[in-house]
Amino acid sequence: MPQPHDAVPTGLSRRSVLAAAGLTAAGVAFQGSLGASNASAAATPAIFYSPHQDDEAIGMAGSILEHKAAGRPVYLVLVSKGENGGIAQNLNQTPCFLGDKCSAPNHYHELGWQETGTTPEVVSARTSEFTLSAKAIGVDKVINFKLSDSAYGTDSEYNTFVQQIMGKIRTLIQQYPGASHKFPAGWLDTIDPAQPTNATHKACSDAAYWLMKNGELTDVRFNHIYTYEAFSRDQRDRGADYVLNIPSSHMAKKRAAILAYNTWDPSRNLYTCGYHSVPTMLEEAYGDPREFVYTLPSKYRTGRGN
Secondary structure letter of residue 114 according to DSSP: -
Residue 176 pLDDT greater than 90, yes or no: yes
Q: Tell me how far apart the 2 most distant CA atoms of the chain are, in Å.
A: 54
Average pLDDT over residues 51-74: 97
Q: What is the pLDDT of residue 256?
A: 98
- In sequence order, the β-bridge partners of residue 77 are 49, 143
Q: Which residues contact 110 (CB under 8 A, 6 or more apart)?
A: 92, 93, 94
**Is residue 81 pLDDT above 60, yes or no?**
yes
Q: Calculate what percentage of the chain has a pLDDT beyond 70.
A: 84
Q: How many C-beta atoms surround the C-beta of residue 39 within 10 A?
A: 17
Distance CA 9, CA 11 (A): 7
Residues 31/263/101/111 CA torsion (nearest 10 deg):
-170
> What is the average per-residue pLDDT within 179-207?
88
**pLDDT per position as a tens digit, 114-154:** 999 999 999 999 999 999 999 999 999 999 999 999 998 88
By residue count, the chain amounts to 306
Strand ranges in 51-197 using DSSP code E only, listed in sequence order = 74-80, 141-147, 180-184
Question: Which range is least confidently modeled, 10-14, 188-192, 202-206?
Answer: 10-14
Q: Each residue of 250-299: pLDDT tens digit? A: 999 999 999 999 999 999 999 999 999 999 999 999 999 999 999 999 99
Q: What is the pLDDT of residue 41?
A: 46
- The model's pTM: 0.87
**Per-residue DSSP letter, 266:** G
* Residue 191 in this model has a pLDDT that exceeds 70: no
**Chain centre distance of CA 54:** 4
Mean pLDDT (the chain) is 86
pLDDT class for 232, splitting at 50, 70, 90?
confident
Separation between Cα atoms, residue 50 and residue 77, nearest integer Å: 6
Single out the residue of 144, 127, 133, 129 nearest to residue 31, CA to CA.
Answer: 133
Handedness of CA 157, 163, 167, 169 (dihedral sign): positive
Q: Cα separation of 252 and 235, whole Å?
A: 24
Angle 5-8-9 from CA coordinates, rounded to 5°:
155
Chain-centroid distance, C-alpha 209:
20
Instruction: Specify which residues 242 forms β-bridges with.
Output: 293
The reported pLDDT for the residue numbered 261 is: 98
Q: Is the pLDDT of residue 21 over 60?
A: no
CB atoms within 10 A of CB 169: 24
End-to-end CA distance of the chain: 41
Query: pLDDT digits over 89-125, tens only?
Result: 999 999 999 999 999 999 999 999 999 999 999 999 9
Q: Kindly list the distances between the CA atom of residue 18 and the CA atoms of 100, 162, 258, 265, in Å, as whole numbers in the listed order.
A: 11, 34, 8, 16
